[in-house]
Structure formats: C-alpha cells, structure tokens
Amino acid sequence: MHVSHLSLADFRSYARVEVALDPGVTAFVGPNGQGKTNLVEAVGYLATLGSHRVSSDAPLVRMGADRAIIRAALVQGERQQLVELELNPGKANRARINRSSQVRPRDVLGIVRTVLFAPEDLALVKGDPGERRRFLDELITARVPRMAGVRADYDRVLKQRNTLLKTAALARRHGGRQMDLSTLDVWDQHLARAGAELLAQRLDLIATLRPLADKAYEQLAPGGGPLGLEYRGSAGEAMAAATNREELYGALLAALGEARKSEIERGVTLVGPHRDDLLLKLGQLPAKGYASHGESWSYALALRLASYELLRAEGNEPVLVLDDVFAELDARRRERLAELVAPGEQVLVTAAVDDDVPGVLVGARYAVSGGTVERVDR
C-alpha cells in the first residue's frame, strides 16, 4: 500500500499542511527543526496509534490548539481508502474510515501499515525491556489487527489485578482483615487467558523474524552476525516448554500461583507478558551492554528491515519510513541500505541535506522549511 495524500491540522508544528505523495521514494529535506520528522511521525501514528517519539498524545497537538487531525488517503492495489484520526489529549480520540460515521480508533489499525526506522530505535537495543515489548506488540498488531483488542484486554485486567493486589498488600501490612483471595483466582484466569494469546503471538513472531533479522544484518554488516533473538519470559521454564496457547495458559496460571505470595507482599503482578523481555544477542554476547554504537545501530535497523520483509511477505506491503537514518551510516552501509529499500512500494525518507539521500533513491523531493512543504523540481 501507499499513502497518496497526507493532510494535517494542528499536528505538531503544522497549523495546516497538505502533501500529495507518489509511490516510490519521497525525500523530505530541510534544516533541523523544520518539521520533517513531524510529517512522518503522523504517518506512523496512523499505523500504530502512537508516536515513535513520545508516549502521550499531548505533544502531538500544536501548541495552543486543543486537538490535532491526521488525515490520509491510501491506495492498496485498486482500492482507495480515507482514514482520519482526531487526537484529543485527555479525552477519547476519534476515528473515521472513508468519511463514514465514527469508528473506534483501534478499528483503523491494520489499514495503514508502516515500518518506521528512526534514531530513537537505538533504544530497541540499548533501552529497557518495555522498548522491545512495544516493538513486538506493534508488529503483532500490524500482522493481526484483532490483537489490539487482546492487548487492551490484557492491560485492563492487569490494572484491575494490580489494584486488588495493592489493596491486599496494604491490608496485610496494616494488619487489616485478610482479603478474600478467591477473586484473585478469577483475575488470574483472565490474565492468563489474554496473556497466553499475546505470548503465543510473540513467540510465533520471533520465530518468523529470526532468519529475516539475521539476513538483514548480514546484508548491512557482512560477517558481523549471527544475531540471536531469545524470548525471556517471566513465567519461567514451564513457559519455555509450552508449545501452544493452551499450554501457555497453563504455564502462566501455574507461574501466577507460584508468585502469589510475593505478589501479595509487593502488591503488583510479577508474572506475565508485561514483565517479559526479548534478549538480543550479537554472536555470543548480549547486544545490550556489549555491542558498539555502530553495531547497535545496525542491529536496530536489521530488526526494522526484518519487520518490513515480514509484513511484505505476508501480503499488504507497508510504507517504509527512514527518519534521519542515512547521516548515521558510513558510506558502505548507506549504499547497502539504499539498494535494499529502493524497490519498496513507498519509501519516505527525511534528511537534513540533499547529500544525505543516496543517489539510488531517486524520486520526489520536498523542501521542508518554516512550516511549508514544497515539492522541488529536479
């Protein structure tokens, strides 16, 4: 698929902007702070309902405005669609598909597919487990949009279960009346049910991604691998032995049972996908804490390229977004990356100067400056 038109109102630095887009490569070029990333961030938001830079919506709304609108026209084969999101920080966001009446924002997931690579992705390798969980879960949602509902269920159950545990922990500490813990059993089942579904998807994703990431890394940094992607589950060994969703459910329930005493002491859920991690190994060593800056960068890029290949192989080709990527790479890696991505259906690139966009990436160019986005004839 590709985006044929992007329209923003009160999004980030833009009061209003309209950008017509072609398939193939489009480069947004301009000095720092002019709004290049803001444009591609909006495209990414349509795909994930989140920004790759901030965890809340408030910074996405133009200072002084109270809501932002992202609208995009999409083309997938013969099919055209219009997607619109209204961001209302502090209130519910709204969505529309094809100008029809409102739908839940979540219903938009899966329509726009993107793979976005940006400097922030270094955190995939160097950052906290939450970064890697988000990577996995966003990709899962792109593959299987109904998983957005499962993730929401899981988060809701987790929150309620934590509230219950906190109450139990407080009661215990202050010598209050012991809580009736049978309610907790019910929450355990709900948590394990949604958790097992999420776990099954994560494990399947990692197995599919592993060879693709290895291949991408080899293409970017020949001889530098191999990569090792290993899931580190908080449910321990029982989980490692589980081969299907039912067994994962059983493993999670058992692990919750074992953790119950410490959970009541600490007042928080200690087992489940929200506590898991994806261990990234480069050769024999963990990448986090060991890999060099350049290696970490290539690793993160390999994960994104692998995501791109995966979504591509599974049907609807995603839009590839490369935000400020080329300036970070040495000449050889730059050329390799450019050759890899050049045939993509739509590739959106941002760069501070023309020279940062490799020659093989021929296509449309836009100059971004002072809130305007203007096509440059070349």
Residue with tokens 């990709």: 139
Nearer residue to Mg ion within complex by CB, 122 or 206: 122
Nearer residue to ligand ATP within complex by CB, 38 or 234: 38
Task: Give, as ranges, the residues between 45 and 74 that touch ligand ATP (CB under 6 A).
Answer: 59, 61-63
CB neighbour class for 125 (10 Å; exposed up to 12, middle 13-18, buried from 19): buried
User: Among residues 34, 48, 201, 307, which is the contact residue for ligand ATP, using CB under 6 A?
Assistant: 34
User: Are 280 and 229 a contacting pair, CB within 8 Å?
Assistant: yes
Going residue by residue from 13 to 42, which x/- string records binding to Mg ion, judged by CB under 5 A? Answer: ------------------------x-----
- Residue 9 beta carbon to Mg ion: minimum distance, rounded to whole angstroms: 21
- Residue 325 beta carbon to ligand ATP: minimum distance, rounded to whole angstroms: 11
Nearer residue to ligand ATP within complex by CB, 58 or 170: 58
d(CA 188, CA 191): 5
CB neighbours of residue 38 within 10 Å? 24
Q: Tell me how many residues contact Mg ion (CB under 5 A).
A: 1
- Residue 110 beta carbon to ligand ATP: minimum distance, rounded to whole angstroms: 26
d(CA 79, CA 89): 32
User: Among residues 2, 6, 27, 35, which is the contact residue for ligand ATP, using CB under 6 A?
Assistant: 35
- Tell me if 37 contacts ligand ATP by CB under 6 A: yes
- Residue 114 beta carbon to ligand ATP: minimum distance, rounded to whole angstroms: 16
The residue of the chain with the least Cβ separation from Mg ion equals 37
Choose from Mg ion, ligand ATP, none: what does 59 bind? Cβ within 5-8 Å by kind: ligand ATP
Choose from Mg ion, ligand ATP, none: what does 32 bind? Cβ within 5-8 Å by kind: ligand ATP
Nearer residue to ligand ATP within complex by CB, 59 or 226: 59
Choose from ligand ATP, Mg ion, none: what does 13 bind? Cβ within 5-8 Å by kind: ligand ATP
Nearer residue to Mg ion within complex by CB, 37 or 201: 37
Choose from ligand ATP, Mg ion, none: what does 63 bind? Cβ within 5-8 Å by kind: ligand ATP
Choose from ligand ATP, Mg ion, none: what does 12 bind? Cβ within 5-8 Å by kind: ligand ATP
**Footprint on this chain of Mg ion (rule: CB under 5 A):** 37
